[in-house]
Amino acid sequence: MKRIRRFWTGVAAFVALGLSQAWADVTVLGWPGGPEEAALRKAAEAYNAKAADPDKVKLIFFNRDGFFDKLAADLAAGSKDFDLNLLATYAIGRYAPFMDPITLPDTANDVFGEKVLATMQYGGKQYGVPTDLSLHFMYYRKDLIDKLLSDPAWKKRYEEISQKLFGKTLDPRSPDDWTWDDWQATAMFFTKSINPDSPTRYGSVLQMKNLLFNMMVWHSTARSQGGDWMDSSGKITVDSPAFRSALELYKKLYDAGASPKDSMTYEYAEANAAFGSGQAATMLQWNAAFADLDNKDKTPAVAGRIGTAPPPAGSAGRFTHIHGLGLGLNKASEHKESALKFLDWLATAEAMEIYAKAGGSPALSDALTAKLATDRPDLVKLGQYAGQYGFVMNGGTAAKALQVYELQAKEFTAYWSGAKPLDDALSETSAGMTELLKP
Amino acid sequence: MTRSAFQRSQRREGFALIAPLTGFLLVLLGFPLLLDLVYSISKVGFETIRAPEITGLGNYAKALADREFWSAAWFSLRFGLLVSGIELTVGLALAIFLEPLLAKRPWLMAFLMLPMMVAPALVGLMYRLILHEFVGVAPYYLSLWFGDSPAFFSNDNAFKTLVAVESLQWTPFALLILHAAHSAIPLEVREAAALDGAGEWKRLAYVDLPLMGPAIAVTFFIRFIDSFRVFDNVYTLVGAGAGGATTSMSIYIYQAFFKVGDIGLAVAASMLLLAGSFVVLYALNWAARR
């Protein structure tokens, strides 16, 4: 009898312990499959090592494909399967109704700075901790550009190509000084079908798939010509010379064969594969690609020979699209207190140091970045470019911003593929955006 | 027991027997259908999913007036007809010409069925790799042997590539059904035709194919229905395509629902598709009766 009682007491204690664990753990839904996942795992590991049992965090990840759609459906359904979830600058307006605003400790300002904290704000309220900042680099093959800048025969050929392209002779320039014309001429020069002596098959690799993220990459081109989604009065301004010339630039490069034939289906991974194979000389790509491309084990064909520069300059200057990824609080969470403790910790210098060293890309204050410069030299450029060239389109955080990106992706890819004239694509985008962004 | 009492008892028993199935259908089909009907006549998004505002038939009108709806319907129709036609033709040819081999070694059928066992989304991803210009096997060897490789996913070729990928995966299904139908034809019928002087082609045209007629029709329609509502392969390979060039009906509905967040429009489009399916089924039923 005694034994039986002891057995049941043991079972009850075990179940109670298990249940308390199951009820107390904070579940975090993170951005899957990239450096962000690896970094979040390390940060969670460090946090769990010292957090009290009820505050410990566990991580879950969806597939990247359709991530934001699935997240929208879960949040709208009031899912309690996660307490903290990924948040992106361009989707805050969409998710804000299903999330709780948060108040970060004052020290968060010293860690991130106001501009970066603002990437996680909507309607004047803070919705998340900005864990990663994304912007674009112009990736180029350092070895090839060095030769172009020094070899007289290559220079002469470059001048001939630029003369044919623009009716004027351009001299090769360093990517840090490129205008879009310089990039275009360089891309043509390194295209085998245009210049049979080119060591690469293509001068560039464009991401032209009907996908919202590809619009973000392309936007730097339009913004540098002075383009914006709308003016200060709320009037949609995409049917403009800036958008027109930026769209024409991509089409000209694609039609000339300076980008792979299947570019209309290319996104992040395909573009990296092309550049990583050593067959494309330049690529406008997300900063997150650098670590893998420069890794000798993963990309032996180009690692160690990659240079990065800010996107080329247009008539209005040099710009790069910028957005933040972060973690915010699900309104339906049943562990808000514990979840907030994790967010508070995540906004500390200690947490961000761990996160950055594990591969994440936080935009941190100068003092913190300097501390991390040996391990993560790319973070120095990240902070620098974000401050100097970063922009968010006017309306880029609106509740329907994602739908605007989707609309542009559909219309602009129709133009690039030749299925629709430019005038129609621009006027239909303008009409659609007027409807989507009306107050 | 009187006759009428017996009939009442029989009826009660009948009701009792069909009650579980009826309940199952009401819960699992009836409720979602009712909800869909409400959503289809409502203004509803993710934010208002629990409080749709009934607005009338506007969503249906919007779908019917949407050029992309018709373009998606046309894509699905072309894709469905072409793919099921190819699968049927190739499956039929394989069923007839592989018959002697499969009769001797039936285990070979298991290998021929393998493509069907793979999830369509995975097949899409697999071909995305195989056909990629820089890492794919196909472009590598084509460039090596012929000096160049076609752009499999360019606007001109994307549709053909999708048809090929779908046909490669699902032809084994046609083969399976048609092989079973072909094997079921009694040997004596063929022998009688041979004794009457019919050659191989005549036996095929006048004996085999007519006897396999119902199986051929069923195979075609199953594959047509499946290909018409294609999603996974297409979405993982090329997405909605440049300017929506490869948007099937399923992708159209998915995009309206998730990407645009216009749940009313997405559900109205689904209901139109359902109504269309009923018309086709009714027509088929009518044709079968005649």
Does the pLDDT of residue A21 top 50, yes or no? no
What is the CATH classification number for the domain harbouring B121?
1.10.3720.10
- Amino acid B3 reads R
**Residue A198, CA distances (Å) to A144, A193, A435 in order:** 10, 9, 47
What pLDDT is stored for residue A146 in this prediction?
97
Chain B interface, Cβ < 8 Å to A:
46-47, 49, 131-135, 150-155, 158, 236-245, 255, 258-261
Q: CB distance B238–A265 less than 8 Å? A: yes
What pLDDT is stored for residue A15 in this prediction?
47
Tell me the per-residue pLDDT of A345-375, one tens digit each, with 9 for 90 and over. 999 999 999 999 998 999 888 888 888 888 8
∠ CA A341-A347-A349, rounded to 5°: 125
Confirm whether B49 is domain-assigned.
no
Confirm whether B31 is domain-assigned.
no
Does the pLDDT of residue B289 top 80, yes or no? no
- Amino acid B238 reads V
Tell me the per-residue pLDDT of B68-96, one tens digit each, with 9 for 90 and over. 999 999 999 999 999 999 999 999 999 99
The ranges assigned to domains in chain A are: 18-132+325-391, 136-321+400-436
The number of domains in chain B is 1
pLDDT band for position A2 (50/70/90)? low
Q: CB distance A411–B158 less than 8 Å? A: no
pLDDT band for position B1 (50/70/90)? low
What pLDDT is stored for residue A161 in this prediction?
94
Q: What are phi and psi of B246, to 5 degrees?
A: -115, 35
- Nearest-Cα residue of chain A relative to residue B260: A403
Does the pLDDT of residue A165 top 50, yes or no? yes
Confirm whether B245 is domain-assigned.
yes
Which residue matches tokens 């907030």?
Answer: A340
Does the pLDDT of residue A209 top 50, yes or no? yes
Q: What percent of chain A has pLDDT over 70?
A: 94
∠ CA A83-A358-A338, rounded to 5°: 25
Round the CA-based radius of gyration of chain A to a whole number and report it.
24
CATH code for the structural domain at A18-132+325-391: 3.40.190.10
Interface test with B, best of A209, A211, A262 (most B CBs within 10 A): A262
∠ CA A44-A46-A49, rounded to 5°: 105
Mean per-residue pLDDT, A38-56: 93
In 10 A of CB A58, how many CB atoms? 13
Confirm whether B257 is domain-assigned.
yes
Which one-letter DSSP state was computed for residue A236? B
Tell me the per-residue pLDDT of A111-132, one tens digit each, with 9 for 90 and over. 988 878 888 988 889 999 999 9
In 10 A of CB B206, how many CB atoms? 12
pLDDT band for position A99 (50/70/90)? very high
Q: Which of B243, B166, B235, B178 is nearest to B208 (CA)?
A: B178
Confirm whether B91 is domain-assigned.
yes
Q: State whether residue A327 sits within 8 Å of chain B by CB.
A: no
In 10 A of CB A70, how many CB atoms? 14
What pLDDT is stored for residue A439 in this prediction?
77
Q: Is the CATH code 3.40.190.10 the one for domain A136-321+400-436?
A: yes
Query: Who has greater pLDDT, A22 or B9?
Result: B9
Contacts of A231 (CB under 8 A, 6+ apart): A237, A394
CA distance A150 to A127: 51
Q: CB distance B155–A76 less than 8 Å? A: no
Q: Bridge partners of A126?
A: A121
Give the end-to-end CA distance of chain A in Å, rounded to a whole number: 73
Q: Bridge partners of A138?
A: A284, A309
Mean pLDDT (chain A) is: 90
What pLDDT is stored for residue A35 in this prediction?
82
Which residue matches tokens 């081109």?
Answer: A221
Q: Which residues of B touch A208 (CB under 8 A)?
A: 242
CA distance A275 to A37: 24
Tell me the per-residue pLDDT of B250-273, one tens digit each, with 9 for 90 and over. 999 998 988 888 899 999 999 999
What pLDDT is stored for residue B44 in this prediction?
86
Mean pLDDT (chain B) is: 90
Q: Which residues of B touch A403 (CB under 8 A)?
A: 259-261
What pLDDT is stored for residue A32 in this prediction?
85
What pLDDT is stored for residue A124 in this prediction?
86
Does the pLDDT of residue A8 top 70, yes or no? no
Question: Of A314-323, B148-157, B259-268, where does the model show the most confidence?
Answer: A314-323
Model ipTM over 0.85:
no
Q: Which of A264, A273, A406 sits opposite B132 (nearest CB)?
A: A273
Tell me the per-residue pLDDT of A51-78, one tens digit each, with 9 for 90 and over. 988 899 999 987 776 688 788 888 988 8
Q: Bridge partners of A26?
A: A57
Rounded to two decimals, the pTM is 0.82
What pLDDT is stored for residue A421 in this prediction?
96
Mean pLDDT is lowest, of A26-40, A231-245, A286-300, B44-58, for B44-58
- Nearest-Cα residue of chain A relative to residue B150: A261
∠ CA A397-A403-A404, rounded to 5°: 70
Which residue matches tokens 């003016």?
Answer: A231
What pLDDT is stored for residue A5 in this prediction?
61
SS3 for A81? Answer: coil
Confirm whether B23 is domain-assigned.
no
Does the pLDDT of residue A16 top 50, yes or no? no
Q: Which of A140, A160, A163, A143 is nearest to A152 (CA)?
A: A160
Confirm whether B260 is domain-assigned.
yes
Confirm whether B45 is domain-assigned.
no
